[in-house]
Amino acid sequence: MSDDACELLCIDFDHAESLRTALPDEDLLARRAERLRALGEPTRLRIAHALHVGDELCVCDLAWIVGASKGLVSHHLRLLRAAGLVASRREGKLVMYRLSADGSGLLAAVRSLEAQVYPA
């Protein structure tokens, strides 16, 4: 038998049921997972950090800052926007991007967790 599974079926039903009913609903968990996945890629995380520091940036500037092509940065920005982590606005021929409130909050949580797990 595997070392990571119980050998017997022994459930504290009352305790297990109280924990099961306390879990968030599936839709909320799916949205949270989508947002975590969106930041779970190095280029997207670099973009989020750049937006955190730079406040509002266009694709051209972001591409230069993170060292990636404009096409790749645009692709990642679409994914971040779909996850609700960045917002955009058009300014003439430019599209300006910034972290949304949710994006700022999630990035702050990631940075805080990182500082706790990997202290300087």
Domain ranges of the chain: 26-117
Question: Of 1.10.260.40, 1.10.10.10, 2.60.40.2130, 2.60.40.1180, which CATH number belongs to 26-117?
Answer: 1.10.10.10
Cα 116 to Cα 111: distance, rounded to the nearest angstrom: 9
State the Cα–Cα distance between residues 92 and 64, nearest whole angstrom.
20
Residue 8: CA atoms inside 13 Å, Cβ hemisphere, count?
3
The dihedral of CA 9, 15, 21, 22: what is its sign?
negative
Per-residue pLDDT 10s for the chain (120 aa) are 567 776 767 688 888 888 889 988 999 999 889 999 999 999 999 999 999 999 899 999 999 999 999 999 999 999 999 999 999 999 999 999 999 999 999 999 988 888 888 887
Give whole-number Cα distances, 61 to 69, 74, 109, in Å: 11, 11, 25
